[in-house]
Amino acid sequence: MTKKVSVVEKILSANDQLAVENRSRLDEAGVFAINIMASPGAGKTSLIEQTLPRLSEKFRVAVVDGDIATSIDADRASEAGALAAIQINTGGNCHLDAVMLKQALDQLDLKDFDLLLVENVGNLVCPSNFPLGTHKSILVASVPEGDDKPYKYPGMYRGVDALIINKIDLMPYIPFKMDYFRRGVEILNAGLITFPISCTTQEGVDEWINWIIENVEDK
């Protein structure tokens, strides 16, 4: 048992060191990076599709998409306006790590971009344990997932800088208790900035976009 723990610690330590190097590369190039995490189907790609057209005239945006297989999400990002979209297929791994992001950064001429959006693999456990070197980490939760997710997956909610509550247009049809959900979030991450949105109706998307703009301009 001790050996297993030691191996895990070494892996996480190596990842953290490389994440620091990734951050340094991004800072040197003047690129602001956001790690977008969520469970499968919560709406990461739809959020990116709503985000890119609103930012493409202001910033030069690249997207890195992590998934177990296929290039579907990267193709959607390209169609939505990303200047570059790189697909990382993890071959079964349930998260991106700093090594994978480094490989993606190696394929980009970073000086040509202002903003990097990283769509992590759909999972509510592993991604929170592997920093990538991005400046901000975002969690997308969705109404159909249920209002108990902060209580079941506390690690994901503790470590993020902003929370998207997606698919609020479905509130009338799904028994989702917003107060209960928010109470669970507040216990884990007091004062966490939260954006209730709908990618379908576009309600609340402008507030999310303004937050990105402020962060990129302040970098």
177, with CB counted inside 10 A (0-12, 13-18, 19+), is exposed
As a whole number, the mean pLDDT across the chain is: 92
Quote the pLDDT of residue 9.
55
Tens digit of pLDDT for each residue in 126-161?
Answer: 898 899 999 999 999 999 999 999 999 999 999 899
Domain boundary assignment for the chain? 2-218
Question: Once rounded to an integer, what is the mean pLDDT over residues 173-188?
Answer: 98
103: tokens are 């490989």
Q: Is 93 helix (H, G, I), strand (E, B) or coil?
A: coil
With bands split at pLDDT 50, 70 and 90, how would you rate the model's confidence at 12?
Answer: low
> Quick one: which of 154, 121, 157 has its CA closest to 37?
121
> Which CATH fold topology does 2-218 show?
Rossmann fold (3.40.50)
pLDDT reading at 11 higher than 60: no
Q: What pTM was computed for the model? A: 0.91
